[in-house]
């Protein structure tokens, strides 16, 4: 645990050396979702491999840069690509950037992801605000020794997503003419997509969306008492009785189509924070 604290301190000190204003909002951009960067007045774009102890993104469409800049007058720090358990990283590595962003001073965290829509009300390209989640990842980022610097070992998860941030995202989406739906996200290991039987099972246990990310970061944000909100882009319709093969290229293409609206929602909310 002392080693992790030292690594966080080293990464934080490196990023502070850029003499940028203390960021107030952190953003994690998911698969195929990078349009928000166009809304940022960029001060610095830093490759992950230059940041001490940062993992490197290995997934196509994840550019692997940390962006420091402003949206309006709000200083932001945005991850242009995240890390996943299926890439071979530990949960501590996956969530390391969230701990660093918190150490840099962020007060809110916004996350996005591409997800399969199991709720029949969801169509490809629609946006869904996460109301809750189910964690089916095989590891937990809080496993192991805990430091009081991180917060409680047993954080309450009764409301993992901040309702105030959620309301702001809903209001911004409505103002842009595309109200957000809401739903429950289940996080699985991947990287394969699900079978028909698995979709039936996940729907049966209460999930509306399925993906391979987000939940580890949200768990750590809750331990750090960092308000967070997340929005999924529905990239494929996962009806087990009418299931069609889908490729990662198709998923990225659908995410990219919806990304303009999602990024406008995020930018409007961030600028007002």
- Per-residue pLDDT tens over the stretch 141-187: 999 988 888 899 999 999 999 999 999 999 999 999 988 999 999 99
Instruction: Give the percent of the chain with pLDDT over 70.
Output: 98
pLDDT at 178: 86
Query: What's phi and psi for 222, nearest 5 deg?
Result: -70, -40
Confidence of residue 225 (pLDDT cuts 50, 70, 90): very high
Mean pLDDT, range 250-269, rounded to an integer: 91
* CATH code, residues 2-272: 3.40.50.1580
pLDDT at 59 over 70: no
- Domain ranges for the chain, please list them: 2-272
Mean pLDDT, range 124-142, rounded to an integer: 96
φ/ψ bin of 11: left (φ > 0), alpha (ψ from -120 to 50), beta (otherwise): alpha
Taking residue 3's Cβ as centre, other Cβ atoms within 10 Å add up to 8
The answer to whether 191 touches 86, Cβ cutoff 8 Å, is yes
pLDDT at 264: 95
Mean pLDDT, range 45-53, rounded to an integer: 96
Mean pLDDT, range 196-212, rounded to an integer: 97
pLDDT at 183: 98
């Amino acid at each position: 645990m002392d080693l992790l604290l030292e690594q966080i301190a080293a990464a934080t000190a490196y990023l502070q050396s850029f003499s940028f204003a203390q960021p107030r909002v952190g953003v994690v951009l998911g698969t195929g979702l990078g349009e928000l960067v166009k809304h940022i007045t960029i001060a610095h774009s830093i490759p992950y491999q230059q940041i001490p102890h940062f993992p490197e993104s290995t997934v196509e469409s994840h550019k692997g840069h940390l962006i420091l800049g402003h949206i309006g007058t709000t200083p932001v720090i945005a991850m242009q690509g995240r890390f996943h358990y299926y890439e071979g990283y530990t949960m501590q590595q996956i969530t390391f950037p969230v701990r660093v962003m918190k150490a840099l001073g962020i007060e809110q965290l916004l996350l996005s992801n591409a997800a399969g829509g199991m709720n029949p009300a969801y169509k490809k390209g629609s946006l869904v605000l996460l109301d809750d989640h189910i964690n089916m990842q095989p590891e937990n980022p809080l496993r192991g020794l805990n430091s009081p610097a991180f917060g409680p070992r047993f954080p309450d998860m009764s409301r993992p997503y901040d309702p105030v941030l959620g309301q702001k995202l809903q209001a911004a989406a409505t103002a842009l003419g595309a109200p957000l739906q809401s739903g429950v996200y289940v996080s699985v290991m991947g990287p394969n997509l699900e079978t028909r039987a698995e979709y039936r099972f996940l729907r049966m246990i209460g999930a509306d969306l399925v993906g391979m990310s987000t939940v580890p970061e949200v768990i750590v944000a809750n331990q750090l008492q960092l308000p967070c909100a997340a929005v999924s882009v529905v990239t494929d319709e996962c009806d087990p009785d009418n299931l069609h093969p889908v490729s990662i290229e198709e998923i990225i293409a659908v995410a990219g189509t919806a990304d303009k609206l999602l990024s406008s929602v995020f930018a409007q909310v961030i600028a007002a924070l």
